[in-house]
Amino acid sequence: MTSGAQAMTRRRVIAAASTLLLVAGCAQTVEGTARPASFAGSDGQEFTKLLTECDAVSDDQIAETTGADAIERGFFGAICRWDLVGSAGTVKVTFNWFESGTLAAERAADEKMMYTVTDTTVQGRKAIQAQRPDDPDSCGVSAGADRDGIFGWWVQYRPGANHPDPCQAAAKLADLTLNLSR
């Protein structure tokens, strides 16, 4: 047999062995009763308020806090976004709530992005304030949530516009969030 034929035979044997291992690895019996994907093991109510975190502070309170006259809800998921318009121009507001997040992890992420991070408090809870270097138009405040995890608000005004302090706005939104989460 030539070396080319031997190589071809070896490849066929390896391919056959791989196929047998794949079939054997996937062949297993799972005990239990099949249920529809929507079955939650209870009355199914645990998912009815899945995105209510985005309602932690009302749209009117967000607009009032940032000095805006009009608000439009944007994307809602793990991170919620709003676009606002007022006398200071466009304002972008972002809210996040991570049930398994920690303030230490949030600080590390902010520092990795080279933000200026300072300690603060929100209703007596440890919190951090983060700002991009040389960006007085945006600021974020993150704090420990009422139960588990952390939440944060980011307020970003149009650069150069005459606007309220974004750090005060983010801190006020954080304060409102803790008031409503009790």
Residue 97 CA to residue 149 CA, distance in Å, equals: 7
Strands 138-144 and 125-131, by their bridges, are antiparallel
Average model confidence (pLDDT) across the chain: 81
For 171, list phi and psi in degrees, rounded to 5: -65, -40
Q: Which residue has the higher pLDDT, 13 or 120?
A: 120
pLDDT band at 145 (very low <50, low <70, confident <90, very high): confident
Per-residue pLDDT at 179 exceeds 60? yes
Residue 89 CA to residue 117 CA, distance in Å, equals: 26
- List CB contacts of 88: < 8 A, sequence separation 6 or more: 67, 68, 157, 158, 161, 162, 163, 164
pLDDT, tens digit, 9 for 90 and up, residues 68-126: 999 998 877 778 999 999 988 899 999 998 888 999 999 999 999 999 999 999 998 99
